[in-house]
Amino acid sequence: MISIRQKLLLGFGGLLLIVAAMGLLTIRQIDSLGGAIDVILKQNYRSVVACQEMSESLDHIDSGVLFTFTGHYDEGMKSIREHNQGFLKALQVELGNITLPGEHQKAMQIKTQFTEYTAVISLVTDPAVSLSERQKRYFSDLLPLVHRMKLLTGEVLEMNQSNMQRANNTAWLMAASAHNNVLFAIIASAVIALLFSYQSHRWILMPIKKLIASAEEIRKGNLDLVLDTTSNDEIGQLSGSFNEMAATLRKMRKSDREALVRTRKATQEVFKVLPSPIAVLGSEGEVEVATESAEHYFGLKPGVNVKDLGQEWLMLLWQKALRQGSLAESEEGNGYIQHFAESQEYFFQPMALPIPAGNESHGFAGTALIFKDVTKEHEQLELKRSVISTVSHQLRTPLTSLRMSIHLLLEERIGQLNEKQADLLLAARDESERLVHIIDDLLDINRIESGMAHLDIQAVSPSRLGMEGVESFLVQASDQGITIVNAIPPDLPDVMADSDSIRYVFANLLSNALRFTLPGGSVTIRAAKAQKSIKFSVEDTGEGISPEHMEHLFEQFYRVPGQQVKSGIGLGLSIVKEIVEAHGGKVSAESAYTKGAVFHFTLPVSKQTI
């Protein structure tokens, strides 16, 4: 059996032979045609030009003779001499370019008659002879010689032109022959190409189409087909390999199905014993597998679509995860979902994680819904708030009585104090005032965290907030030798804020900045537009904050080591964080150690100014 390679070599080899033969034949005929044209141009054309020049020289010589009859003897003799040389030069060219039979004889006749013609001219132009005698000789001897020589040059010209015409006809015949040969070769090549194309269709295209159709069937999942492998060429070998591949795929599919069933059953069993509510959604939002707690608390039964549960926050969370392509958390209720079941209150932190479809796909095969049970953490937080609130209120009453007693003693209403007693009472008064501030801070942060703090949010100018925040610290800064710079532009859009709460934010940030800035330094407040919010900054030139403390700055009761005891218990920045987040903003800080610190917070822009 002939292989495909041999079939292709046979078909293309025949075409190559025809093209090669056609090319060699055409090149040979073109070379012959070029030689014929070369003969025409180099030989006959030279003789034609020489004959034309001899005829023209005779005319000029004759004109010169006539000039000598009309009183222009010198001009006529000059013309005769010049064109006599031209005639001899052209005659010499003709004698050296004899190519045709009889051409040499006629050329010699022209030479002989021109010699006779030259002798007659000397008599006709002799000034010693009378004009009438010279004219008589001109018409009787000279003019007939001119006519005979022009007749001979014309005959030589005609002989060469005729030969040029014959060479031209020969060239046309050779060109026509080359044209016919090329046409024949083209037709033969086309016939062979058609035959080869027909055979190629049978040898190659039809088997390949069968392979393509089979591959399409396999793509659709039909692995039971078997191809014909009767031919022994490459197509037959490929068909055999294709059948082996299909058999291997059938075995792999069977094995994969068994593994998938095992994995699905194992997943279902594992999901049943998981305590946390977890569900896996398909690409369209349908529940594929879920834990019992997910089904019990949120109705996520296998086969149910998340769109049909009527829980808008859950559908928004699912869509958010698919849109951003990463873990998404709920924005409802500060990220927590309150749920009542069996007369009990539960709190969950829902998250959605998209599941990639595969390495070669940019889409997602589904989404995992995870509900973290934070009920205990929430109860502990509520208990902490309750304890803080109770203890703070319980401490406030005796602390108020203690402060009143200290003030009465310092006013010496019940007796005069010595210097030592006065110093002790002054220290007690300062500590009691510090304790009052601590209790107020605890109550403030407890109210903000529990959502009980009342915020009178209105549209306020950022420049006004900055001015009110700085105003109460100008005297203190001046006493410390520190410059406060208000660099907030007056043309910024209004923000939505509670002025009293933001005044506390500025007070805390400015007091910290003044505390850690040395005399001669400066504190600068700024503000700039950032998308749909205004970003405020409080920047100082103090000693800065070490990198290991930056991430803990806004935690409750965290104090940077090395501070004075009177600086507080670490609630100020956490209160700032709670106030700003209650406004819908964010806080952050940056610092280069020994080069100062910058604290930022954002407030949303008023919708009326967007």
Judged by average pLDDT, the poorest of 25-29, 297-301, 313-317, 346-350 is: 25-29
CB proximity list for 328: less than 8 A, separation 6 or greater: 317, 320, 321, 351, 352, 353
Fold of 274-371: Beta-Lactamase (3.30.450)
Domain 458-609 CATH superfamily: Histidine kinase-like ATPase, C-terminal domain (3.30.565.10)
Domain locations in the chain as residue ranges: 4-195, 274-371, 381-450, 458-609
Buried b (16+ CB within 10 A) or exposed e, 187-207: ebbeebbeebeeebeebbeeb
Dig out the tokens for 419 from the structure: 């210097």
* pLDDT (0 to 100) of residue 33: 60
> For residue 489, what pLDDT band results from cuts at 50, 70 and 90?
very high
Dig out the tokens for 357 from the structure: 């479809």
Judged by phi (left if over 0) then psi (alpha if -120 to 50, else beta), residue 221 lies in left
Average pLDDT, the chain: 77
Q: What is the pLDDT of residues 302-344, one digit of tens each?
A: 888 888 777 777 778 777 888 887 887 776 556 677 767 666 7
* pLDDT (0 to 100) of residue 565: 47
* pLDDT (0 to 100) of residue 257: 74
Question: Which spans in 220-233 are helix H?
Answer: none
Judged by average pLDDT, the poorest of 65-79, 366-380, 556-570 is: 556-570
* pLDDT (0 to 100) of residue 152: 86
Q: What percent of the chain has pLDDT over 70?
A: 72
CB atoms within 10 A of CB 595: 10
CB 494 within 8 A of CB 459: yes
Q: What is the pLDDT of residues 418-462, one digit of tens each?
A: 777 777 777 777 676 766 666 665 666 556 555 555 678 899 999
Dig out the tokens for 69 from the structure: 């009859």
Dig out the tokens for 47 from the structure: 């003789």
* pLDDT (0 to 100) of residue 496: 92
528 or 160: which leads in pLDDT: 528
Sequence-distant contacts of 358-366: CB under 8 A, at least 24 apart? 363/283, 364/283, 364/322, 364/325, 365/282, 365/283, 366/280, 366/281, 366/282, 366/283, 366/288
83 or 291: which leads in pLDDT: 83
* pLDDT (0 to 100) of residue 454: 64
CB proximity list for 73: less than 8 A, separation 6 or greater: 67, 125, 127
Give dist(CA 219, CA 215) in Å, integer: 6
CATH number attached to the domain at 4-195: 1.20.120.1730
CB atoms within 10 A of CB 263: 10
Q: What is the pLDDT of residues 498-549, one digit of tens each?
A: 888 898 899 889 988 998 899 999 999 999 998 889 999 999 998 888 888 8
* pLDDT (0 to 100) of residue 356: 79
Terminal C-alpha separation, the chain:
82
> For residue 486, what pLDDT band results from cuts at 50, 70 and 90?
very high
* pLDDT (0 to 100) of residue 79: 87
Q: Is the pLDDT of residue 177 over 90?
A: no
Q: What is the pLDDT of residues 115-141, one digit of tens each?
A: 888 888 888 888 888 888 888 888 888
Q: Is the pLDDT of residue 495 over 90?
A: yes
Name, of 203-207, 332-336, 353-357, 540-544, the range with top average pLDDT: 540-544
Residue (of 152, 159, 67) closest to 117 by Cα position: 152
CATH number attached to the domain at 381-450: 1.10.287
Give dist(CA 525, CA 585) in Å, integer: 17
CB proximity list for 535: less than 8 A, separation 6 or greater: 527, 528, 529, 600, 601, 602
Q: What is the pLDDT of residues 545-581, one digit of tens each?
A: 888 888 888 877 777 765 554 555 667 788 888 889 8
Average pLDDT over residues 462-469: 92
**DSSP sequence for 511-569:** HHHHHT--TT-EEEEEEEEETTEEEEEEEE-SS---HHHHTTTTSTT---TT--GGG-S
483-486 vs 522-530, strand pairing mode: parallel
In 3-state terms, what secondary structure has residue 510? helix
